[in-house]
Amino acid sequence: MPGIEPPVLAEVRLRINGIDHELTIDTRISLLDLLREHLDLTGAKKGCDHGQCGACTILIDGRRANGCLALAVAHDGAEIVSIEGLAEGEELHPLQRAFIEHDAFQCGYCTPGQLCSAAAMLAEVREGWPSAVTPAGDGGVELSDAEIRERMNGNLCRCGAYANIVPAIAEAAHP
Ligand code: FES
Ligand code: FES
């Protein structure tokens, strides 16, 4: 059609949940849409598509990120983990077990993002990253409920399951 430019395509290589992919993508596509619309990995959810709810949280090279804000073309060569890749085969991730034991979800829409975010958050704590509520000093991070709430505040739960999400994460951190 006159006046409409065709999409710009790019080749990218991504390792997604342990599987290598060589993909030709539209340079405008987000990692979230690539996973959901092209690779049938619909675990990461689209709540807002604006970086505000955390439902799309995935791990990019081990760090949590909003898949809706991450352009796939900008992550050529990256290792991506979505909720489908969090378990070890049939063995659930400790956070998944804790969420089930603590009934830490209702509709479950936010849960894949909560789990991916919490997995990376616990790694950040192990590495000693402070948060806005970490007391000053070099005494390390004590993962209090306040720390969990602060560190998970990018993941909203419309069902308000926070009262069970926090103890589930605390248990996974201190089994
Ligand atoms: S869908 Fe990405 S932050 Fe809401
Ligand atoms: S369990 Fe429904 S949005 Fe969190």
61 Cα: distance to centroid of ligand 2 (angstroms): 26
pTM for this structure? 0.95
Nearest Cα to 75, choosing from 132, 16, 19, 133?
A: 16
Q: What is the pLDDT along the chain (175 residues), one digit of tens a residue?
A: 678 889 999 999 999 999 999 999 999 999 999 999 999 999 999 999 999 999 999 999 999 999 999 999 999 999 999 999 999 999 999 999 999 999 999 999 999 999 999 999 999 999 999 999 998 877 778 899 999 999 999 999 999 999 999 999 999 998 7
- Among 105, 114, 164, 165, which residue has the most ligand 2 atoms within 8 Å of its CB, making it the best to mutate? 105
CA 40 to centroid of ligand 1, rounded, Å: 18
List, as own/partner pairs, every contact residues 97-104 make where C-beta atoms lie below 8 angstroms and the sequence separation is at least 24, other chains included.
Answer: 97/172, 98/168, 98/169, 98/171, 98/172, 99/165, 99/168, 101/168, 101/171, 102/164, 102/165, 102/167, 102/168, 102/171, 103/164, 104/161, 104/164, 104/165, 104/167, 104/168
